[in-house]
Amino acid sequence: MYRGREGMLSWMLHRVTGVGVLLFLLMHIVDTFLVGFGPEVYNTVLAIYKTPFMRVMEVFLVAAVLYHALNGLRVILVDFWSAGTRYQQQMFWAEMVLFVVLFIPAAYFMLKPLFG
């Protein structure tokens, strides 16, 4: 059983989060490059990241990175650990628990300034 189950879902999420993080990275390299143009240019560009909308997007970015990192570890375990394939489903649910445990506090601290 692969289709529609944990294996396929985790694989699809890995791709979607990977592409999402890469798109952010492309933008982020360009904005960092602009630091070479001095404080006026850089601070003006960086103001975009400080808007409430972008703050929420940054929380999504953290979610995507965290999922991609944890699922990547699971993929490595499936590949290199002899019992990896046998436990891939259990590892997926362990990964989900770890994701929630790490993501909730991160999201809390990132969104806190929005509520004063």
Tell me how far, at minimum, the Cβ of 65 lies from other proteins, in Å.
6
For residue 94, give Cα distances in angstroms to 31, 39, 90, 99, 102: 36, 45, 6, 9, 12
Tell me how far, at minimum, the Cβ of 4 lies from other proteins, in Å.
17
Give the integer Cα–Cα distance in Å for 17 and 68.
Answer: 6
List residues near other proteins by CB under 8 A: 11, 15, 18-19, 21-22, 25-26, 29-30, 32-33, 35-36, 38-39, 42-43, 46, 49-50, 55, 58, 61-62, 65-66, 69, 72-73, 75-76, 78-79, 106, 109-110, 113
